[in-house]
């Protein structure tokens, strides 16, 4: 399965222009034989707001139904969906969202059959849009024609349990739309490949570039193999990176270094009986 991360700049508050650019890149993806195109966090809307009113103004009204299916969306989202249908490409793209009850930071998985499924960012830093949104309450794994795909958004990567839950639920690939600004190099260079290796899954992280609201974004998108190896890595400008993934490799959770002498497993060696403190509190006292 050929996967592409489209590292790009974003026009703040102009979802129509951003949707056109995303749609153009989906067409490019098809011409390169790409099955899954990944775009940055908040690529349709921009991210850097300083007040709740600004977050509400930039957010797109996207509602979901059972199974995280998108049941209504505005034209910029539908334009990207239509591009996926037209070109036979799956895509994951981010946006500032709202429904009838709250603001959220969302990412949509759009499929060539016209289906769209929504993930809401679960872990929120005290920064930009995330200061004003409600957190998501689920870590779903989506069954697709390509394989089992889990989505995290940016800061979700910092909490190791999130990627572990997706892997335990059978994800072959974790897709990470992100907005890594200056100062987030450690996440881009080390956390992303480690999350792939510790869960033996593929991971595709797509960052943005450019400047917005006083922040500069660092790029460094990457696609990583089940051993944490770098399959493709971007620099700090607009760039497209590609990698061919054999998702069946993520379903074998046994590591064999020397057959019969040096082997290990990712999950069966776990000791959940010892991990109570992980879910017993938020650790604010430490």
Task: Assess whether 41 carries a catalytic annotation.
Answer: yes
280: confidence class by pLDDT, cuts 50, 70, 90: confident
This prediction's pTM = 0.96
CA–CA separation, 81 vs 94, rounded Å? Answer: 13
- Known catalytic residue at 154: yes
pLDDT of residue 286: 47
For the cut 90, the answer to whether the pLDDT of residue 202 exceeds it is yes
Mean confidence (pLDDT) of the chain: 96
Choice among 64, 111, 121, 212 that is catalytic? 121
In a domain? residue 103:
yes
With 80 as the cut, is the pLDDT of residue 144 above it?
yes
Domain count, the chain: 1
Can you tell me the mean pLDDT for 113-139? 97
pLDDT of residue 244: 98
Domain of residue 72, residue span: 2-279
| CATH code for the domain in which residue 184 is found | 3.60.110.10
Q: Are 10 and 41 in contact (CB under 8 A)?
A: no
Which pLDDT does position 279 carry in this prediction? Answer: 82
The pLDDT value given to residue 97: 98
State the average pLDDT over residues 13-28: 98
Q: Is residue 285 part of a domain?
A: no
Catalytic-role residue among 41, 64, 111, 212 = 41
For residues 98 and 81, the answer to whether their CB atoms sit within 8 Å is no
Q: What percent of the chain has pLDDT over 70?
A: 98
The answer to whether 28 is a known catalytic residue is: no
Whole-angstrom distance, CA of residue 262 vs CA of residue 248: 22
Element (H, E) at 167: helix 160-168
Neighbours of 268 (CB within 10 A): 8
Catalytic-labelled residue, pool 48, 84, 154, 206: 154
Q: Are 70 and 124 in contact (CB under 8 A)?
A: no
pLDDT tens digits, 147-178: 999 999 999 999 999 999 999 999 999 999 99
Instruction: Report if residue 286 sits inside a domain.
Output: no
152 neighbors 145 (Cβ within 8 angstroms): no
pLDDT in tens, 227-277: 999 999 999 999 999 999 999 999 999 988 899 999 999 999 999 999 998
Residue 245 lies in a domain: yes
Query: Is the model's pLDDT at 16 over the cut of 60?
Result: yes
**pLDDT 10s digits, 188-198:** 999 999 999 99
The pLDDT of 80-95, averaged and rounded, is 98
Residue 246: inside a domain = yes
Q: Is residue 273 part of a domain?
A: yes
Main-chain phi, psi angles of 222, to 5 degrees: -155, 150
Total length of the chain: 286
- Please give the structure tokens belonging to residue 87: 């070109």
Q: What is the pLDDT of residue 283?
A: 59
Between these two residues, 285 and 221, which has the higher pLDDT value?
A: 221
Q: Inform me whether the pLDDT recorded for 285 exceeds 80.
A: no
Q: Is residue 28 part of a domain?
A: yes
Q: What is the mean pLDDT of residues 119-134?
A: 97
d(CA 183, CA 220): 12
Domain-embedded: residue 129: yes
């Amino acid at each position: 399965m050929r996967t592409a991360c489209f590292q790009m700049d974003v026009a703040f508050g102009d979802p129509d222009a951003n949707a056109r650019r995303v749609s153009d890149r989906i067409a490019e993806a098809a011409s390169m034989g790409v099955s899954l195109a990944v775009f940055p966090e908040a690529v349709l809307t921009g991210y850097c707001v300083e007040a709740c009113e600004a977050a509400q103004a930039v957010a797109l009204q996207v509602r979901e139904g059972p199974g995280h299916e998108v049941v209504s969306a505005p034209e910029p989202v539908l334009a990207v969906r239509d591009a996926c249908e037209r070109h036979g490409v799956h895509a994951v793209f981010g946006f500032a969202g709202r429904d009838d009850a709250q603001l959220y930071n969302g990412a949509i998985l759009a499929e060539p059959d016209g289906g769209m499924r929504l993930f809401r960012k679960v872990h929120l830093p005290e920064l930009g849009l995330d200061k004003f949104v409600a957190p998501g309450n689920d870590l779903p794994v989506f069954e697709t024609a390509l394989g089992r795909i889990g989505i995290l958004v940016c800061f979700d990567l910092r909490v190791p349990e999130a990627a572990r839950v997706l892997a335990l639920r059978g994800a072959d690939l974790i897709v990470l739309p992100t907005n890594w600004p200056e100062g987030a190099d450690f996440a881009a260079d080390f956390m992303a490949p480690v999350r792939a290796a510790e869960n033996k899954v593929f991971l595709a992280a797509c960052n943005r570039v450019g400047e917005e609201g006083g922040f500069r974004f660092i790029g460094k998108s990457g696609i990583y193999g089940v051993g944490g190896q770098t399959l493709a890595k971007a620099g700090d400008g607009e760039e497209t990176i590609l990698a061919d993934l054999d998702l069946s490799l993520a379903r074998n959770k046994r590591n064999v270094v020397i057959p019969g002498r040096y082997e290990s497993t990712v999950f069966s060696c776990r000791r959940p009986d010892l991990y109570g403190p992980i879910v017993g509190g938020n650790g604010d006292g430490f």
